């Protein structure tokens, strides 16, 4: 297994869901921390020239509420709110998702974090060098909203890539290249 795999997502319009995945070269505990620490989410969730999260709050327990506030490149603010349905650190996080730009659409996001052995090529051949994480997202609730599903699938590809860049390389919204800049 290589150290990392690029983030990818697909929208299943017939079933009204999104599946997304990425393989990250850090343990599940580190990924879970990036997802649930109110100081970290604003560091990685976004990109100059696109949008960014400016505030994230969460009571990370079943029944606990969470919210994020952000701003688009156009200066317009947005927010996403929800409630935690299942929390099993560092393996599982399930929550509702209500985005201000999606009207009354309420979806459910399931994050599964699976530990994976990471191998590196040594002079004696492949050797275990640590534990990585396969991150799987399943977002359901788009049965009557195919355009929203397509847009969210594109968003998850970016979001997983941004989180991967933070936990593997320390890259933040402020240190990442702006969207459209090569």
* Contact predicate 70/64, CB 8 Å: no
Per-residue confidence (pLDDT) for residue 2, from 0 to 100: 41
| Within-domain flag for 174 | no
* Contact predicate 93/87, CB 8 Å: yes
pLDDT at 121 over 80: no
Residue in 97, 41, 85, 81 with CA at minimum distance from that of residue 60? 85
| Within-domain flag for 178 | no
Average pLDDT on 77-104 reads 96
Per-residue confidence (pLDDT) for residue 131, from 0 to 100: 87
| Within-domain flag for 180 | no
Average pLDDT on 71-87 reads 97
Tally of structural domains, the chain: 1
Average pLDDT, the chain: 92
| Within-domain flag for 163 | yes
- The larger pLDDT score, comparing residue 98 to residue 181, is at 98
Confidence band of 1 (pLDDT split at 50, 70, 90): very low
Which CATH number does the domain housing residue 102 bear?
3.30.530.20
Place of tokens 């290589």: 2
CA–CA dist 55, 3 (Å, integer)? 31
What digits encode the pLDDT tens for the residues 57-76?
Answer: 999 999 999 999 999 999 99
What are the tokens at 57?
């709050």
Could you tell me the residue range of the domain that residue 148 belongs to? 5-169
Task: Outline where the chain has alpha helix (H).
Answer: 28-36, 41-44, 146-169
| Within-domain flag for 179 | no
| Within-domain flag for 64 | yes
| Within-domain flag for 175 | no
| Within-domain flag for 50 | yes
């Amino acid at each position: 297994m290589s150290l990392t795999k690029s983030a990818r997502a697909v929208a299943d319009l017939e079933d009204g869901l999104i599946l997304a995945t990425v393989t990250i070269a850090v343990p599940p505990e580190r990924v879970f921390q990036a997802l649930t620490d109110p100081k970290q989410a604003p560091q990685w969730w976004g990109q100059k020239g696109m949008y960014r999260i400016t505030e994230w709050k969460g009571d990370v327990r079943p029944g606990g509420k969470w919210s994020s506030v952000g701003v688009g490149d156009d200066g317009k603010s947005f927010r996403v709110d929800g409630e935690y349905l299942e929390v099993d650190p560092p393996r599982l996080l399930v929550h509702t998702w209500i985005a201000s730009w999606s009207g009354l659409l309420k979806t459910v996001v399931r994050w599964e974090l699976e530990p994976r052995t990471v191998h590196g090529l040594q002079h004696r051949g492949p050797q275990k060098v640590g534990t990585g994480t396969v991150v799987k997202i399943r977002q359901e609730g788009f049965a009557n909203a195919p355009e929203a599903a397509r847009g969210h699938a594109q968003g998850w590809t970016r979001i997983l890539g941004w989180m991967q860049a933070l936990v593997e390389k320390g890259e933040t919204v402020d240190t990442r290249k702006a969207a459209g800049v090569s």
